[in-house]
Structure 1
Amino acid sequence: MATLEAWGEVGQKYEIHEETLAFFRQQKERGARPYQDLTVEEAREANKQTSLFYSGDTEFNGTIKEFIVPSVHCPEGVAVSVYKDSICPLTAPVLVYFHGGGMVVGSRQAYDVTCKLIARDTPCIVVNTEYRLAPEHKFPEQFQDVECVTRWVCMNKALIGASSSSRVGVGGDSAGGNLAASVCHYVDVDFQVLVYPMTDHTCSQPSFSEFATTPGLNQRMIEWFQDLHFSSPEQATDPRFSPLLHQDFSHLPPAIFVIAELDPLRDCGYAYRDKLSSAGVTTDCITLQGAPHAFFHMPGNFKEICGLSYEAVTKFIRKFSR
């Protein structure tokens, strides 16, 4: 797992970034095991520890406020953390962010540094969302949670420190990118930030096969996630779950795609970008060369890769939030 040889033919075809090799090398030294070889509880704890170990730290001179968003689908409500930097203007945009983790692992806590960096460097208000996870909560409960939070933010801008004129966008990585892309089909927002999004649960694009056995996210792990959050196999073709399968994209807001080159989800991200572009939607796209899936919330390790991606994201938000 830790060496170039572990990448097989992929390692011969692509130049793997040193930050990628260092990450998997250290993961081996730490005794990390694939999620599919663990129980759900063990996988969640492993994800938490890995995320905190590699996220690093950052200075943040601002406020972090906690809210419970009321929901008809979730009796206890949906917890969110709202980040606002001290230099954030009243008319600053709002980014509602959904974490990754295959809808099975991941948490707001794992994305604390990510949200601070985006809130500070844009600057904007970031709403970090704790949606429910599978297998305790099957699809579409995750979608119901993020749709609820997005609508709530749009109707309560002043409550979270924004103004009535503040623009609202959604964003997320991996499964969170799936949820962000999907919610845009049902809620009117002003922009979307899609970080290596899962847009097609039928897994029909070439990169799913190309990276089927590589370190990190691969075919076995994807199947493990899907087995836990599908209620039935037919849900793979539900457009809410596979937004690539929607018929109309013309009403969607501008989008930026952050793509990892060495990622099974790479081509479904490109395919979704092409659907939007063909429908006349403005899209930006950055591909991080030699980068693996799941780097975005670990800037402590992926310093150069995250630096490039965060710069592109903050520039995009500033551009489309005026």
Structure 2
Amino acid sequence: MNPFQKSLMRLFAAPRINMLEDYEKVRRLQRGLAAPRSLAKFRALDVTSFPADGKPPVPLRVFTPREQRRDDVLVFFHGGGWVTGDIESYTPACQTMADLTGAVVVSVDYRLAPEHPFPAGLEDCYRIARLFLEDPGAVGIDDPARVVLVGDSAGGNLAAAVSLLLRESSRPIPQRQIMLYPVTHFDHDPATSPFESVRRHGEDYRLTNTEIQDYFELYVPDPEHRRHRMVAPLMAEDLRSQPRTLIITAELDLLVDEGEAYGRALADAGNDVRIERIEGALHGFITLPRFARPLRTAYGIIDEFLDGEQGALAGGAA
């Protein structure tokens, strides 16, 4: 990008807020921004999972595409640093996902930190994944192979952790998973991070070093626990037997290097992986209006992946 383009993109950088103190304000702002777009008549149904093992039920919102082109069911874990985001603020993005993929999307309203720190949100996502994979008939699915785990940012982290936890628990795992600019590592301090993108993009654009470190403080208060493989999947020593995976990263995102590193680690463990990087894209582009170029490019790649087409391991800019 030339200097003018970079300056223009910085206009869309996240405001410098104190997430440790202002997360509730951010939640309200996100819902408010989504509300005008939610006035459209979305084809959505709210349902609630049954409580299990003493855990509370998990709200779900099911989105039906205008034209259903495939039988896949995309079980979606939203982003927001495990602290913000919910099925309300992600309703426009999920309806777009349903329409552009032609598949049913199930948005999971997992519990958020700091009210419910790790592993509460992961437990909710794990329970819902098990429901869809182990008892698909109960949710109207005739074949668990149709279930695809999808997540963006912290939701991508949760998708990775759920797949690892399913395998470690000897449970059925999904055949496919899609991670959009996922969090896979615990260190986002420019002085110590092993990833150059943390230093290159951590102050200028949509997500900042300070913001993501605040998220980690709220989600996993004990710094030592942030190295756990269910918090930082890139720290897992055994990544074998994972689903066929698509990882899509954003060029101007501080998470771009760690997301692609996780894809390479999965491939090194013998998994089928496709990695794609969207040029000029910022973190969070999946929530953009559906005419936005990064979003349209990403959904073209997602369509190919869902259709079974393979891609280069190293990814390449799209």
What is the TM-score with the length of structure 2 in the denominator? 0.84
Write the distance in 2 (CA, Å) between the matches of 1:40 and 1:165. Answer: 36
2:105 pairs with one of 102, 116, 126: 126
**How far 1:118 moved relative to its partner?**
2.5
Q: Match of 2:174, as an amino acid?
A: V
Write the distance in 1 (CA, Å) between the matches of 2:16 and 2:32. Answer: 12
Report the equivalent of 1:190. Answer: 175
Report the equivalent of 1:199. Answer: 184
Report the equivalent of 1:254. Answer: 244
Q: Match of 1:192, as an amino acid?
A: Q
SS at structure 2 position matched to 1:240: coil
1:318 pairs with one of 287, 295, 307: 307
Q: Match of 1:44, as an amino acid?
A: R
**How far 1:216 moved relative to its partner?**
2.6
Write the distance in 2 (CA, Å) between the matches of 1:110 and 1:213. Answer: 25
Write the distance in 2 (CA, Å) between the matches of 1:82 and 1:307. Answer: 22
Q: Match of 1:208, as an amino acid?
A: V
SS at structure 2 position matched to 1:236: helix
**How far 1:17 moved relative to its partner?**
9.8
Write the distance in 1 (CA, Å) between the matches of 2:39 and 2:21. Answer: 28
1:307 pairs with one of 273, 286, 296: 296
Relative contact order higher in (CA < 8 Å, ≥ 6 apart): 1
1:231 pairs with one of 221, 233, 246: 221
Write the distance in 2 (CA, Å) between the matches of 1:230 and 1:50. Answer: 28
**How far 1:166 moved relative to its partner?**
4.5
Report the equivalent of 2:25. Answer: 42
Write the distance in 2 (CA, Å) between the matches of 1:71 and 1:161. Answer: 19
Against the structure 1 CA distance between its residues 123 and 233, is the aligned structure 2 distance closer, same or farther, given a 3 Å change threshold? same
Against the structure 1 CA distance between its residues 15 and 23, is the aligned structure 2 distance closer, same or farther, given a 3 Å change threshold? closer
Report the equivalent of 2:76. Answer: 97
CA contact (8 A) 1:51 1:298 kept: no
Against the structure 1 CA distance between its residues 33 and 46, is the aligned structure 2 distance closer, same or farther, given a 3 Å change threshold? farther
**Residue 284 in 1 paired to residue 274 in 2?**
yes
Against the structure 1 CA distance between its residues 52 and 207, is the aligned structure 2 distance closer, same or farther, given a 3 Å change threshold? farther
Unaligned runs of 5+ in 1: 1-9
Write the distance in 1 (CA, Å) between the matches of 2:165 and 2:237. Answer: 13
**How far 1:37 moved relative to its partner?**
7.9
SS at structure 1 position matched to 2:82: coil
Write the distance in 2 (CA, Å) between the matches of 1:230 and 1:168. Answer: 29
CA contact (8 A) 1:122 1:318 kept: no
**How far 1:315 moved relative to its partner?**
2.3
**Residue 66 in 1 paired to residue 46 in 2?**
yes
**How far 1:221 moved relative to its partner?**
0.6
**How far 1:253 moved relative to its partner?**
0.9
Q: Match of 1:262, as an amino acid?
A: L
Write the distance in 1 (CA, Å) between the matches of 2:140 and 2:66. Answer: 11
1:242 pairs with one of 222, 232, 238: 232
Q: Match of 2:177, as an amino acid?
A: Q
Q: Match of 1:122, as an amino acid?
A: T
**How far 1:151 moved relative to its partner?**
0.5
**How far 1:235 moved relative to its partner?**
1.3
Unaligned runs of 5+ in 2: 167-172, 310-318
After superposition, the C-alpha distances for 1:23-47 in whole angstroms (9 at most, x for unaligned) are 45xx8xxxx5535385221121123
Write the distance in 1 (CA, Å) between the matches of 2:35 and 2:180. Answer: 19
Report the equivalent of 2:312. Answer: none
After superposition, the C-alpha distances for 1:152-205 in whole angstroms (9 at most, x for unaligned) are 112343343431364211111110000001111122111010000000113332
Write the distance in 2 (CA, Å) between the matches of 1:73 and 1:198. Answer: 29
CA contact (8 A) 1:58 1:116 kept: no
**Residue 80 in 1 paired to residue 60 in 2?**
yes
**How far 1:116 moved relative to its partner?**
2.0
CA contact (8 A) 1:93 1:162 kept: no
What is the TM-score with the length of structure 1 in the denominator? 0.83
Deviates more, 1:73-82 or 1:264-273: 73-82
Write the distance in 2 (CA, Å) between the matches of 1:86 and 1:236. Answer: 41
Matches within 5 A, 1:100-119: 100-119=79-98
1:210 pairs with one of 197, 200, 215: 200
SS at structure 2 position matched to 1:114: helix
